Amino acid sequence: MREILGRRLQRIRNRLTNLRSAPVQRDDPAVPDPALPGTALPGTALRDAALTCATARRWPVLPGVGPAGPPGAAVSAVSAASAASATPEGSAGPVPPAARCGCPDPDCPVPGAHPFDPGLLAATTDPRMVAWWWTRRPGAPLLLATGGSAPCAVSLPAAAAARAVARLEGQGMRLGPVAATPTRWSLLVAPYSLERLGELLYAKDHVPSALRFHGEGGYLLLPPSPASGGGRVRWEREPAATGEPWLPDVEAVVDALVEASSGASGGGSRLAY
């Protein structure tokens, strides 16, 4: 009997020890999300960014599925920043290993960087809904639902994008916001229809596979979300602090982007945002 009571008492002690060492619940918005690369971000950073997009810019947003796995599954923000500072400007730099996605698909092509629950149609500018989402999931990636009245985007490999941006600005082109990950940059442009985009691309002799378009029914990962390949999304060209940012027409930038991405690495079959 004493041995049985002793074993039960030991089990109780073990449970108490586990409870004391258990991590803080991730629903607490003041706690950094341990599943994200780089826990230095305050728990409210993504929520504040989402609210700014929804209210100041009138961009419909929603939370992404997010990465899965332990904190070491992706490169930390500090490591990514160090690697970026050691890389010559305009170079994509080393590509960090991809994190596993939190969705059920083991071969997810955009791990941690896509809608899942809620779906894309739930994107909204309602600040109450946005605040509720990121209060419950403070580490969720920030997604812009592109098209309609919202901005569209064109993305391409980082090194090619840096050349294209330099060329366009050298020609006096006024660009809009540019979001960047360690591997790809995305130029935000005015909303375009799929029909108009088809006409533009049909006139080209060749459209590189490294060039991707985020239009009606699409989405784009926005800062300061974790990038699917490691590090975080940042603003290479930041939108204005207030009001709806100015956006160029896709016609004005597509020629330079097609030329810059021709022959660029980073096409492939897997999407790396």
Q: Which residues pair with 184 in a beta bridge?
A: 157
Length of the chain: 273
Lateral strand order in the sheet of 184-189 = 212-214, 152-157, 184-189, 178-180, 234-237
CB 175 within 8 A of CB 235: no
Report pTM. 0.72
Q: Which two tokens stand for residue 13?
A: 């002690």
* Rounded CA separation 29/134 (Å): 8
pLDDT tens-place values along the chain, 273 residues long: 445 445 555 655 555 444 444 343 333 333 343 333 444 466 799 999 999 999 999 999 999 998 775 433 333 332 333 333 334 434 444 434 446 888 999 888 888 889 999 999 999 999 999 999 999 999 999 999 999 999 999 999 999 999 999 999 999 999 999 999 999 999 999 999 989 888 988 888 888 888 899 999 999 999 999 887 778 999 999 998 777 899 999 999 988 888 888 866 544 333 444
